[in-house]
Amino acid sequence: MLACDPEPPEGCAFSSMATAPESASTCPADAGDYDPVAMGPAPLVVMFTVDTLNRAYLDGRHPDWDITPRLDAFFAESAYLPEVVSVRSLTGVALSSLLTGRYPRAHGVRDHAEQVGTTIETLPEHLASGGYATRAFISNQCWVIDGKVDELTCRWNRQDESEQDLKDEELVTSFTRALDQLSGPTFLWIHLVDPHTPYDAREPYYDTFHPEPPAGDFDPGVEGALADVNLGERSITPEEHAQVEAAYASQVALVDAQFGEVLDALSSRGLDDAIVVFGADHGEELGLHSHYYWHSCSTFNASLMLSFAIRAPGRLAGGAVMASPVSSTDIAPTVAELAGLPWDNDIDGTSLVGDFRACREPTRPAYFERATEAAGMVVEGHKLVLEPEGWTSACEPYTDDIPYVMAREQLYDIESDPDECTNLAEDEPAMFSELRGQLCDWVLATPWVATNNERNPVVRACGG
């Protein structure tokens, strides 16, 4: 069934490889021995994030490919968060929440062209108030951080998305050079645009993942090729889908190598005690539902669920695994506390340092939004989504004439059905009603930026 059909499609188009067992919770014996606040500011805090990272390509989850050896080793030695829920699968919005610890309805960013207001504090600004120098190296949506750091290096051109890998590599080089200019506590953030459409192959990785000749004349690296699939203007064969997977995996493999460059640069300069954070803004659907090869419309796990890891020697126990879902709004306050500057005022997120030290699994819901058209939450092994209008035209490449079709009410058991192929909203009415009430309490608890009922179907659906 094509994405433009009038009824929501059922089931999954392709396997996501995400059915591999998730990491079980792990608590090192020395977890409670660390007190980062008492240690004061850290010499160096590094945040390394990438775009559109489907977690099914990380942590040895692929049955055949060894895609991310450097990242997998980093995950094993760090505090690992394999169940981070992004607030939205759209870069500008997701990064704004990652930086502020607030949900979009609080920071007000709903689209790429918008920026967090000057009155809302970001993580680098919070660290700067405690004496940190701050610098960012960004390859996508540079305006998100413009004016929020001491120095910004940008390699982004919305009109020219070609040679993404070269732009990213230039940033990695600029980042490593900056390591030779450190003076006092410093926060450095690098955000790469890969892996991202167009899915042009990255050699030599692609040939390892797809040694067979390409299927016909299909090329996922050609701009617009996958948009035609999204809009139902052409079908995609399993062989062509395999090309997409291999091209995407080749970009993830290059990111792994670039992350390795950063780790090696830190080690060669004697900076192994730096706090290093790895994560992403959001994931990528990759055809799993509705043959959708993009992310901004999707509220499925492939686009929202992320893996983060934090290595903070002497401040957080390595080898810890927090297997329960947490929100991406929790990352900023966690990093701030590890950097010796707790940040608890007027934000939605909660630092996870105390949970790690107490060997405690958080049970609070992790919420997400899609503009003012949809909202949902992940809690206790289940996921609830309200899409009151049933579809959206607020995300490319869809339009009013060809909308992205979704079920209006969705409930998934994400422990037994991680790909979300079976909607239980009608089969489990009691559970759906209970979780819906909990979500609506959250929806109505705080005014959204757009509260007019004509513009906010989620608020209207919850009785507001």
The reported pLDDT for the residue numbered 162 is: 59
The reported pLDDT for the residue numbered 6 is: 38
For the cut 70, the answer to whether the pLDDT of residue 251 exceeds it is yes
Query: Are both 380 and 301 inside the same structural domain?
Result: no
Model pLDDT for residues 252-306, shown as the tens digit of each residue: 999 999 999 999 999 999 999 999 999 999 999 999 998 899 999 999 999 999 9
Instruction: Give the residue with greater pLDDT, 222 vs 76.
Output: 76
Report the DSSP beta bridge partners of residue 382.
379, 413
The enclosing domain of 398 has a CATH number of 3.30.1120.10
The reported pLDDT for the residue numbered 157 is: 61
Query: Are both 272 and 225 inside the same structural domain?
Result: yes
The reported pLDDT for the residue numbered 305 is: 96
The reported pLDDT for the residue numbered 450 is: 55
Query: Are both 345 and 446 inside the same structural domain?
Result: no
The reported pLDDT for the residue numbered 274 is: 98
Query: Are both 354 and 408 inside the same structural domain?
Result: no
Average pLDDT over residues 385-409: 83
Query: Are both 221 and 178 inside the same structural domain?
Result: yes
319 is a domain residue: yes
Instruction: Give the residue with greater pLDDT, 33 vs 20.
Output: 33
Query: Are both 389 and 319 inside the same structural domain?
Result: no
Token pair belonging to 257: 């190598």
The reported pLDDT for the residue numbered 138 is: 94
Confidence of residue 197 (pLDDT cuts 50, 70, 90): confident
2 is a domain residue: no
Confidence of residue 240 (pLDDT cuts 50, 70, 90): very high
The reported pLDDT for the residue numbered 5 is: 39
Q: What percent of the chain has pLDDT over 70?
A: 92
Query: Are both 228 and 310 inside the same structural domain?
Result: yes
64-73, 156-165, 386-395: range with highest mean pLDDT: 64-73
8 is a domain residue: no
Least confident of 65-79, 196-210, 217-231: 217-231
Element at 111 (helix H, strand E): none
| CA dihedral of 390, 393, 399, 405, whole degrees rounded to 10 | -30
Query: Which residue is listed with tokens 């037994």?
Result: 416
Instruction: Report the distance separating Cα 152 and Cα 120, nearest Å.
Output: 19
Query: Are both 221 and 268 inside the same structural domain?
Result: yes
The reported pLDDT for the residue numbered 455 is: 63
Instruction: Report the distance separating Cα 433 and Cα 425, nearest Å.
Output: 9
For the cut 50, the answer to whether the pLDDT of residue 4 exceeds it is no
Last residue of a domain, one of 364, 384, 417: 364
Instruction: Report the distance separating Cα 457 and Cα 389, nearest Å.
Output: 7
Contact between 119 and 129 (Cβ < 8 Å): no
Confidence of residue 191 (pLDDT cuts 50, 70, 90): very high
17 is a domain residue: no
Average pLDDT over residues 414-426: 93
Query: Are both 201 and 350 inside the same structural domain?
Result: yes
The reported pLDDT for the residue numbered 27 is: 94
335 is a domain residue: yes
385-to-125, 192, 266, 375, 431 alpha-carbon distances in Å: 33, 30, 42, 6, 13
Angle at 370 between CA 368 and CA 372, to 5 degrees: 110
DSSP state, residue 2:
-
15 is a domain residue: no
For the cut 80, the answer to whether the pLDDT of residue 9 exceeds it is no
The reported pLDDT for the residue numbered 7 is: 46
Last residue of a domain, one of 341, 364, 387: 364
Average pLDDT over residues 366-379: 92
The reported pLDDT for the residue numbered 394 is: 66
Model pLDDT for residues 96-110, shown as the tens digit of each residue: 999 999 999 889 888
Token pair belonging to 29: 């014996």
Query: Are both 235 and 249 inside the same structural domain?
Result: yes
Model pLDDT for residues 147-164, shown as the tens digit of each residue: 999 999 998 765 555 567
332 Cβ partners below 8 Å, 6+ apart? 98, 99, 100, 101, 122, 123, 126, 343, 347, 349
Token pair belonging to 284: 């990528």
Instruction: Print the domain residue range for 137.
Output: 31-364
Instruction: Report the distance separating Cα 27 and Cα 319, nearest Å.
Output: 8
83 Cβ partners below 8 Å, 6+ apart? 22, 305, 322, 323, 324, 325, 326, 378
Instruction: Report the distance separating Cα 60 and Cα 69, nearest Å.
Output: 8
The reported pLDDT for the residue numbered 159 is: 53
247 is a domain residue: yes
76-80, 152-156, 418-422: range with highest mean pLDDT: 76-80
The reported pLDDT for the residue numbered 454 is: 55
Instruction: Report the distance separating Cα 320 and Cα 328, nearest Å.
Output: 18
Please provide the average confidence, as pLDDT, over all residues in the chain. Answer: 89
Query: Are both 40 and 116 inside the same structural domain?
Result: yes
Cα four-point dihedral sign 326, 171, 116, 375: negative
For the cut 90, the answer to whether the pLDDT of residue 398 exceeds it is no
Query: Which residue is listed with tokens 């079709």?
Result: 405
The reported pLDDT for the residue numbered 290 is: 86
The reported pLDDT for the residue numbered 1 is: 27
The enclosing domain of 146 has a CATH number of 3.40.720.10
Instruction: Report the distance separating Cα 456 and Cα 173, nearest Å.
Output: 44
Q: How many structural domains comprise the chain?
A: 2
Rg (CA), the chain: 21
Last residue of a domain, one of 317, 333, 364: 364
Instruction: Report the distance separating Cα 323 and Cα 316, nearest Å.
Output: 16
383 is a domain residue: yes
For the cut 70, the answer to whether the pLDDT of residue 318 exceeds it is yes
For the cut 80, the answer to whether the pLDDT of residue 166 exceeds it is no
Query: Are both 351 and 395 inside the same structural domain?
Result: no
Residue 24's Cα: distance from chain center in Å?
Answer: 21
